[in-house]
A = this chain, B = another copy of it.
Amino acid sequence: MKRSIICRQLGYEFNTPALFKQALTHRSFGMPHNERLEFLGDSVLNCVIANQLYHQYPRLPEGDLSRLRAHLVNKQTLYEIAQSLHLGDHVLLGEGELKSGGFRRPSILADTLEAIFGAVFLDNGFVAAEKVIGRLYAPLLQGLDAKNMGKDSKTLLQEYLQGHRIPLPSYSVVATHGEAHQQHFEVECLIPELNIRSRGDGPSRRSAEQSAAKEAYRLATET
């Protein structure tokens, strides 16, 4: 896979291609790897997003800005962007990681993307990194729902129900699968007043509840 494909998507050409290669190098592959670049890139990303949000929402209080930023810079969001760039095709991994499918691991892909931001910053300064990050984040920043972004599904559902004076939902585990240390939960969310009975599943009771609440919220706001 040619690295130039990613460069085109980033809208950036490296002056020092070795920096780009380092950003793509997982520690399992050998030195120089991308961990220090990730440290740097994480702080660059935080700063760029803080600045974008500051300008995009001139009246939003500090607490809301922090919440929005946390949502935008978390590993899940980074992973989704990394996937859209097909970063997994370009990551350099040691043999062990390669065999165990490391190129699909969300944390490895998210970290690699942060390392790329750090590499651009080192290569050409803050404004260059700002451009690259701005380009990748533009769809997310445009689609931001400043009021609700970053709230989890249970909170969203609860606020919706309270706003409509409807009693809060009840959650119950309807099934568990697997062994003790690798359980999988199925949870039901019940809102009798809306005739809603939704299901969700996940590796913990909490995540299964969130998944059930998400579906219930969708159903409640559709009707």
- Count identical subunits in the complex: 2
Min distance, Cβ A130 to any Cβ of chain B, angstroms:
8
Contact A62 B36 (CB under 8 A): yes
Looking at A45-53, A75-83, A156-164, A195-203, the stretch in contact with chain B turns out to be: A45-53
Q: Is A35 an interface residue, CB under 8 A from the partner?
A: yes
For chain A, the count of residues having a C-beta within 8 Å of the partner chain is 24
Q: Which of A107-139 contact B (CB under 8 A)?
A: 121-122, 125-127
Q: Is A14 an interface residue, CB under 8 A from the partner?
A: no
Given the interface contacts A126-B126, A127-B126, does A66 sit within 8 Å of B39 by beta carbon?
yes
Q: Which residues of B contact A126 (CB under 8 A)?
A: 47, 125-127
Contact of A39 among B38, B50, B122, B125 (CB under 8 A): B50
Min distance, Cβ A71 to any Cβ of chain B, angstroms:
15
